[in-house]
Amino acid sequence: MNFSFTSLGCASALPTVNRFPSAHVLKVRERLFLIDCGEGCQMQLRRYGFSFLKIREIFISHTHGDHIFGIYGLLSTMSMIGRSSDLFIYAPSTFGEILSSLLKHFGGGFNFKVVHIVVKGDEPEKIIDSKSLEVLSFPLKHRGECYGYLFREKMPLKNVFKELVAKNDLTLFEIARLKEGLDVVRESGEVLKNSEFTYLPYLPRSFAYCSDTAPFETLSSYIEGVSLLYHETTFASDLGKLAAQTMHSTASDAAICAKNSNAGKLLIGHFSTRYHDLSIFLNEAREIFSDCEIAEAGKEFIVPLIKP
Amino acid sequence: MNFSFTSLGCASALPTVNRFPSAHVLKVRERLFLIDCGEGCQMQLRRYGFSFLKIREIFISHTHGDHIFGIYGLLSTMSMIGRSSDLFIYAPSTFGEILSSLLKHFGGGFNFKVVHIVVKGDEPEKIIDSKSLEVLSFPLKHRGECYGYLFREKMPLKNVFKELVAKNDLTLFEIARLKEGLDVVRESGEVLKNSEFTYLPYLPRSFAYCSDTAPFETLSSYIEGVSLLYHETTFASDLGKLAAQTMHSTASDAAICAKNSNAGKLLIGHFSTRYHDLSIFLNEAREIFSDCEIAEAGKEFIVPLIKP
């Protein structure tokens, strides 16, 4: 049961030879969620072996070029390789006109529908609710509308202790009720207590994506207890003033967010080209939140299954 | 006196990990002309050390995505690194709306003007006429409006044989006239024949760019005698039928064009992803036109100065 994150690029607005702009893949079981889509995203997807056909949903944080210029090429390529199934793009309202213009000029031959789901709101909102996963959007504070995304596994069905199945001669009906977390009352009046018969096979995992944003207090509450947090940190604290002016976070800001939200692990990316050596980010963040790593392009960060 | 061509990518519509889509640089002296601008163009410009600030003109053959999707990121980056001088984009009329939409959604902070010069016409047309260079556009046959470009150095000023300057006690005025190719008639009636006093320091060099096009007979006449020809060859002859259907050229088509136009050298690129081994293109072309090479990304092809 995969649950892993791979960045396709950790550059900020100015890409370099070795740093592509923001685009990332969250793999949940066999589903691939694409998060932001900077220029070159399609090449990076190929480079790291992600199938375009497994992408059904794209999540756009905001419509600055370094987060969306790859959408033109990606959609065109999806068309050329024969996509026919709908594609769902979750993005702020500002994306609407951009998409219309893309479809008008380049979408003539598309054999699939591109559905723009407008992300909005001053509070977290549930935007996907499937059997095993839910996705929430939450507002960030950047120049223009900007949203983060929280992907959260649902509580799994409980397992019934095998030895108790035989010992108590459980029926299929009783097992099903127990798996759903309910007690069972037999005709005899005997009560099979759920807490005694079952256990959680694993704790639900979660991933939060915080792109360009100024730090703000409520952010950590939106993502409380997240297993893995990716937080963009364009500057280190030496350029804290510039970060504030441009509504970005420093490495310390990201680490404070990770700490306050009780995150399991922090990944940082989206570095300004001013920095050649990224250890300044890592050292700064680790002073506040030790389990922090650079979201190096192509490196898969697996969120392990943890038993309760 | 540089005159060289460097491709930034030799992929066709579907870029791969190692092949970026169409974008190329022609260097003439210190000027850089960007020809087509596929996705990732800005990364490739950086990779191969071309300064964005030296690009004043961009030439777009046609508005299919694999030739223009890099324009969004390139223009944004030019803005972010502080461009203030006008940028001239030579492109078919179909580019107009694409540019308007780009400027509307992403050009808010641009401090430079983007001028679209509409390329058109059923015959070659001179679109740039500078002191030492002229550029002509010429129609190609592809799906939708499509143009090739011919860059041609002007005939240089002639040199006067040094030994004759002293021997004939030439005045500065007489030297200037001779350099311009004129005879000089002295007050005494003596005629200083240009052909005896001067020589051409070098032959003008030229480069032609033929992007996606079906082969057609007049094409070679448009570029007669070109020193270096880049011709896109999406397919080899094994897929000649597909090439015809999609209005592309095969390697043989390109080689025939090079031969008929008496080109000095042929470069081929824009290969379909169907081909992993490019030697099929090279072998096919060389059977017809021997001085042919793959326009490998990043490889500089210098057109040498040739004395008459």
Residue A101 Cα, gap to closest chain B Cα (Å): 7
The chain A residue lying nearest B79, using CA atoms, is A14
Host H or E run for residue B100: helix B95-106
Taking CB atoms and an 8 Å cutoff, what residues of chain A touch B66? 73, 76
Query: Which pair of tokens denotes residue B69?
Result: 């999707």
Ranges A15-19, B54-58, B203-207: which has the least confidence: A15-19
Using CA atoms, how far residue B30 sits from A19, A50, B4, B25, B161, in Å, is 28, 41, 11, 12, 28
Nearest CA-CA distance, residue A155 and chain B, Å: 39
How high is the pLDDT of residue A202? Answer: 92
Q: Which residues pair with A117 in a beta bridge?
A: A90
- Please give the backbone phi and psi of residue A14, each rounded to the nearest 5 degrees, phi first: -105, 105
Active-site position among A66, A122, A129, A212: A66
CB contacts of B39 in chain A (<8 Å) are 39-40, 42-43, 70, 72-73
* Greatest CA separation for chain B: 74
The domain ranges of chain A are 3-156+200-302, 159-198
Residue of A128, A129, A130, A150 whose CA lies nearest to A139: A150
Judged against a pLDDT cut of 80, whether residue A36 lies above it is answered with: yes
Measured at the CA of B268, the angle between CA B263 and CA B269, to 5 degrees, comes to 150
Is A36 catalytic? The answer is no
Say what percent of chain B tops pLDDT 90: 92
> From the list A40, A97, A105, which residue is nearest B43 (CB)?
A40
pLDDT (average), residues B18-47:
94
Res B273: pLDDT? 87
Euclidean distance between CA atoms A70 and B190, whole angstroms: 71
- Spatial distance between the Cα atoms of A55 and A95, rounded to a whole number of angstroms: 19
Q: Between B13, B16, B69, which is nearest A80 by CB?
A: B13
Query: From B78, which residue of chain A is nearest by alpha-carbon distance?
Result: A14
Give the chain B residue whose CA is nearest to the CA of A72: B69
CA distance A115 to chain B (A): 20
Chain B residue numbers with beta carbons less than 8 Å from the beta carbon of A14 are 77, 80-81
pLDDT higher than 90, residue B63:
yes
Task: Calculate the average pLDDT of chain A.
Answer: 95
The pLDDT assigned to B187 comes to 92
CA–CA separation, B145 and B222 (whole Å): 17
How far is the alpha carbon of B254 from chain A, nearest alpha carbon, in Å?
A: 25
Of B17, B43, B69, the CB nearest to A15: B43
Nearest to B231 by CA among B205, B189, B204, B259: B259
**pLDDT at residue A18, rounded to an integer:** 74
Pick the catalytic residue: B66, B86, B122, B129? Answer: B66
Nearby residues of B140 by Cβ (< 8 Å), 6 or more positions away = B61, B62, B146, B147, B148, B210, B211, B212, B213, B219
Contacts of B145 in chain A (CB under 8 A): none
Q: CA-CA distance, B197 to A109, in Å (whole number)?
A: 64
Inter-chain residue contact B76 with A13, CB threshold 8 Å: yes
A186: exposed, middle or buried (Cβ count in 10 Å: 0-12, 13-18, 19+):
exposed
Q: Do A65 and B42 touch (CB under 8 A)?
A: no
Q: Is the pLDDT of residue B14 over 90?
A: no
Q: Determine, for residues A80 and B47 on separate chains, whether the beta-carbon distance falls below 8 Å.
A: no
Does residue B15 register a pLDDT over 80?
no
Phi and psi torsions of A118, nearest 5°: -75, 120
pLDDT digits (tens, 9 = 90+) for B224-249: 999 999 999 999 999 999 999 999 99
**Residue A98: closest CA among chain B residues belongs to which residue?**
B105
The partner residue sitting opposite B47, judged by closest CB among A17, A46, A77, is A17
Length in residues, chain A: 308
A99-156: pLDDT as tens digits: 999 999 999 999 999 999 999 999 999 999 999 999 999 999 999 999 999 999 999 9
Closest by CA position to B291, among listed B256, B264, B272, B271: B264
What pLDDT is recorded for position A152? 97
Note whether A179 and A160 are within 8 A (CB). Answer: yes
| AA identity, residue B33 | F
Q: In the structure, what pLDDT confidence band is assigned to residue A248 with cuts at 50, 70 and 90?
A: very high
Picking from A47, A73, A101, the nearest residue to B65 by CB comes out as A73
**Alpha helix positions (H), chain A:** 41-47, 65-68, 71-80, 95-106, 162-167, 172-179, 194-197, 219-222, 240-245, 251-260, 279-288
Pairwise CB contact (< 8 Å): A16 & B46: yes
Nearest-by-CA chain B residue for A20: B43
Of A43, A63, A101, the CB nearest to B40: A43
Contacts with A63 from chain B: Cβ below 8 Å? 105
H/E stretch holding A114: strand A114-119
In CATH, what class is B3-156+200-302?
alpha beta
Can you tell me the ipTM of this complex? 0.90
Contacts of B104 in chain A (CB under 8 A): 97
Q: Which two tokens stand for residue A151?
A: 């992907």
- Please report residues of B whose CB lies closer than 8 A to that of A46: 15-17
> Which residues in chain B are closer than 8 Å to A97, comparing Cβ atoms?
104-105
- Pairwise CB contact (< 8 Å): B80 & A13: yes
> Rounded to the nearest 10 degrees, how much is the dihedral formed by the CA atoms of B149, B155, B156, B159?
160
Stretch A67-79: mean pLDDT, rounded? 97
How close A93 comes to chain B (CA, Å)? Answer: 13
% of residues, chain A, pLDDT over 70: 99
CA–CA min distance B73, chain A (Å): 7
pLDDT attached to residue B88: 98
pLDDT at position B108 is: 92
Which positions in chain B have a beta carbon within 8 angstroms of at least one beta carbon in chain A?
Answer: 13-17, 20-21, 39-40, 42-43, 46-47, 63, 65-66, 69-70, 72-73, 76-77, 80-81, 97-98, 101, 104-106
User: What's the confidence (pLDDT) of residue A10?
Assistant: 82
Q: Do A105 and B105 touch (CB under 8 A)?
A: no
Q: List A198's β-bridge partners, or say none.
A: A160
Q: How many CB pairs under 8 A join A and B?
A: 85
pLDDT computed for residue A1 by the predictor? 79
Tens-place pLDDT, residues A161-203: 999 999 999 999 999 999 999 999 999 999 999 999 999 999 9
Edge-first strand listing for the sheet containing A114-119: A114-119, A87-92, A55-59, A31-37, A23-28, A3-9, A300-302
Contacts with A13 from chain B: Cβ below 8 Å? 76-77, 80
Residue B258's pLDDT is 98
Say if residue B13's pLDDT is above 80. Answer: no
The answer to whether the CB of B33 falls within 8 A of the CB of B61 is no
- Taking the CA atoms of A248, A253, A259 and A261 in sequence, report the sign of the dihedral they define: negative
